[in-house]
């Protein structure tokens, strides 16, 4: 589903060039829940922006569903971000003056779906992430952190993306709520066939992933766990999980 081929991303020029991702190659299957770990500055966030087409690589190719997103026009990139990718952020990024249903409806409005269709799908998605009843009518200020993240996940699923990119999705949550959110993402990946990539510093989240990719200084060092192998510049070995 996702294939990254020898991707490099550099910023700046001349003596001030910083290479955030270096000659990275990886493959991720449909319905796989993958964690990307590494110290701050290792290139995790840059990799996510490349996969989400928020930045273009300096070199290399990125295939999502067989399509090389590095060759898309600006208009096609907008459609890719709307149709194919769902984003989940550590800070939730919900619209404060919209209630839960309205926040989930918003991405569908950009795709031209009718209001009744948007509302019904938003209601079903919120039920799928176990946010039910009156909580669907509450604005973010009146929801707990875990509830806000459930809304954010439902919103990410609104346009039926093939890829969800989650940046520290449990970073602001207590351990019990964090475990619930991680299990929710994992079950969505497996039940819906949606590929989920989560950047995390949390060992417990990484422990629930199908595979773990470790980045150091922009290079992929190892992929641990079952499933298709992955390798990159400076790659170590690919090992099976116990």
| Tens digit of each residue's pLDDT (9 = 90 or more) over 62-87 | 999 999 999 999 999 999 999 999 99
Token couple for 4: 């990254």
Answer for the pair 241, 224: CB distance below 8 angstroms, yes or no.
yes
Residue pLDDT, tens place only, 141-171: 999 999 999 999 999 999 999 999 999 888 8
Q: What is the C-alpha separation between 132 and 126, in angstroms, rounded?
A: 7
Which pLDDT belongs to residue 225?
Answer: 65
Rounded to the nearest 5°, which phi and psi values hold at 61? -130, 150
- Strand ranges in 132-210 using DSSP code E only, listed in sequence order: 163-167, 195-199
Which pLDDT belongs to residue 73?
Answer: 95
With a cut of 50, list the residues of the chain below it in pLDDT.
227-242
Answer for the pair 230, 223: CB distance below 8 angstroms, yes or no.
yes
Q: What is the C-alpha separation between 186 and 194, in angstroms, rounded?
A: 10
Which pLDDT belongs to residue 242?
Answer: 29
Count CB neighbours of 139 within 10 A: 15
Q: What is the pTM of this model?
A: 0.86
Count CB neighbours of 241 within 10 A: 12
- Strand ranges in the chain using DSSP code E only, listed in sequence order: 2-11, 18-28, 33-37, 59-64, 67-68, 85-89, 163-167, 195-199, 211-216, 219-224, 238-239
Which pLDDT belongs to residue 233?
Answer: 40
Q: What is the C-alpha separation between 211 and 56, in angstroms, rounded?
A: 25
Which pLDDT belongs to residue 222?
Answer: 67
Which pLDDT belongs to residue 174?
Answer: 86
Give the bridge partners for 21, in sequence order.
9
């Amino acid at each position: 589903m996702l294939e990254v081929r020898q991707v490099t991303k550099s910023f700046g020029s001349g003596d001030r060039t910083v290479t955030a991702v270096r000659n990275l190659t990886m493959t991720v299957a449909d319905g796989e829940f993958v964690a990307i770990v590494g110290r701050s500055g290792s290139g995790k966030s840059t990799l996510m922006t490349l996969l989400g087409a928020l930045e273009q690589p300096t070199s290399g190719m990125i295939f999502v569903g067989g399509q090389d997103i590095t060759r898309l026009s600006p208009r096609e990139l907008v459609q890719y971000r709307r149709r194919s990718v769902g984003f989940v952020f550590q800070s939730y990024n919900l619209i404060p003056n919209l209630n839960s249903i309205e926040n989930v409806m918003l991405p569908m409005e950009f795709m031209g779906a009718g209001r009744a269709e948007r509302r019904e799908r938003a209601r079903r998605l919120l039920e799928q992430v176990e946010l039910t009843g009156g909580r669907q009518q509450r604005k973010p200020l009146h929801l707990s952190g875990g509830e806000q993240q459930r809304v954010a996940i439902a919103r990410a699923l609104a346009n039926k993306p093939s890829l969800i990119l989650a940046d520290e999705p449990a970073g602001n949550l207590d351990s019990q709520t964090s475990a619930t959110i991680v299990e929710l993402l994992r079950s969505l990946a497996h039940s819906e066939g949606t590929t989920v990539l989560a950047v995390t510093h949390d060992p417990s989240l990484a422990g629930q992933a199908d595979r773990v990719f470790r980045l150091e200084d922009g290079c992929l060092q190892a992929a641990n766990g079952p499933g298709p192998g992955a390798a990159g510049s400076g790659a170590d070995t690919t090992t099976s999980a116990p």
